[in-house]
Amino acid sequence: MTAEITCVVDSEPAAAAGPGPLLPSADPFHRPPKGFAATPPGTILRSRKIELALFGIVPQQVSAWQLLYRSCDLHDTPEAAITTVLLPLDAEPDEDRPLLAFQTAMDAVTEKCSPSYALRHGACALGSITQFEWLIVANALRRGWAVTIADHEGPHGNFGAPREPGYRTLDGIRAALRFAPLGLGPDTPVGVWGYSGGGMASSWTVEMAPTYAPELDIVGAVLGAPVGDPRQVFDRLNGTAYAGLPAIVMAALRRLYPALATVIDNELTADGHRFVVRAENATPLGAILGLANKKVDDFLCRPLTEVLDTPELRAMFDDLQLGNTTPACPLLVVQPVHDQVIHVDGIDGQVERYRRGGATVTYLRDRLSEHFSLLPLSTPISLDWLAARIAGQPLSDQKDSTVWSVAASPAGVRGLLDMAVTVGKIALGRPLRQEHASAAKIAPARAA
């Protein structure tokens, strides 16, 4: 891919106040102009200023835009993708700052969970994890960082798809670096971060980066509970309290893998078809609550193990497995030992595959956390680790560490107290301004 990206910008003003934003499928902003496919990946096609809100209700005082840009899908077919880009309120445009590519746990087919919709003022996305994650990513803005949050599942909600989340995220980074109001440039250091479904998308981002976007200066990535082996997750969650999550993946991937579509179309009972439709229309929390303890076995005409062991479905799960392509940047992987959603041995395997390929991986496991608590508890160490990579600080030897809690240190406690301040500002709609060490002070240290 060429490092030279031509910007073709068709700006739109912020939408007028009304009952709420349009869903992406109904929003003309999301429709690419004619001829967009001939432009280089990352070309900005359209931009607009938007207003963010906590849970769609509490307006946020932050500078926010949306960029429509050229990207591609799993099969390298050109498509228009969208990212939400952010700056601290009243950020100085000429100040050096890094860019954080944050991938949310969209974990849904329904477009209500797309960040471009769920983060906006007036959005109705009850049960969207992305809306909760705003409480996390806002901490990067208080450090003075720019942020890009791509709709990494694309316009059709391809939850669980391989490779293409990386393409959309990388092209979103390219677009953000060329978007003048952010004040960034081609040499801007980029950090990548995501947890759970966002960790999976972040894994694809750094796996695809060396060949798809080698010109980007990705200095490090934090992968939280990043799935590792989807086949294993499917097996473990089937029939459990979290059975709705693999059901959403089934609903999403049937459009991409004909073998899975054949099973769903020809081998599911009538109740099974209703099960898939419910998953397709559910938010993650809605699926967890509404499809708990459902077993795919009960909806099939033959045993599930027999279906999963067909050559076609084995090939599909092999295609979905992470860790078979080596990232070029250093990685921090964080994982609960007792994760009830993504088992630790699946992440052990992903880390081992990365290391066999020559990747530099620091692997941190937490004994006391479970799946949902580790994201907020690990936020301070995740941001501190990325800040050190941005500053060019040397890495300690890669190692495995298993601790009682990632928060059980003076730095962890200070970080959580600082996060509490962020949550208070968000809940009250107070300005999110740069309040920590200037990015301009980081850049010389990194350059040295």
Q: What is the pLDDT of residues 304-337, one digit of tens each?
A: 888 889 999 999 999 999 999 999 999 999 999 9
- Say which range, 160-169, 276-285, 301-310, has the weakest mean pLDDT: 301-310
Torsion angles phi and psi, residue 33, rounded to 5: -70, 160
23/113 Cα distance (integer angstroms)? 10
Q: What is the pLDDT of residue 24?
A: 96
User: What is the chain's Cα-based Rg?
Assistant: 21
Going from N- to C-terminal start, the domains of the chain cover: 11-229+328-447, 232-319
- Looking at per-residue pLDDT, the higher value among 66 and 447 belongs to 66
Strand partners, 87: 63
Q: 79-106 burial by CB neighbour count: b if 16+ within 10 A, else e?
A: bbbbbbbbbbbebeeeebbbbbbbbbbb
SS3 33: coil
Q: Is the pLDDT of residue 446 over 50?
A: no
The length of the chain, given as a count of residues: 448
Q: Is the pLDDT of residue 445 over 50?
A: no
Q: Is the pLDDT of residue 396 over 90?
A: no
367/239 Cα distance (integer angstroms)? 25
* pLDDT confidence tier of residue 11, bands split at 50, 70 and 90: low
3.90.1300.10, 3.40.50.300, 1.10.357.10, 1.10.260.130: CATH of 232-319: 1.10.260.130
Q: 11-229+328-447 adopts what CATH topology?
A: Rossmann fold (3.40.50)
312/159 Cα distance (integer angstroms)? 19
Q: Is the pLDDT of residue 2 over 90?
A: no
Q: What is the pLDDT of residue 410?
A: 86
Q: Pick the most confident of 206-215, 228-237, 269-278, 407-416.
A: 206-215
State the CB neighbour count (10 A cutoff) for residue 60: 22
Long-range contacts formed by 300-308: CB under 8 A, 24+ apart: 300/267, 300/268, 300/269, 300/272, 301/267, 301/268, 301/269, 302/267, 304/238, 307/263, 307/267, 308/231, 308/234, 308/235
Q: What is the pLDDT of residue 13?
A: 47
pTM: 0.93
Q: Is the pLDDT of residue 441 over 90?
A: no
Mean pLDDT score across all residues of the chain:
91
pLDDT digits (tens, 9 = 90+) for 402-427: 999 999 888 889 999 999 999 999 99
Best CA proximity match to 106, nearest among 132, 67, 80: 132
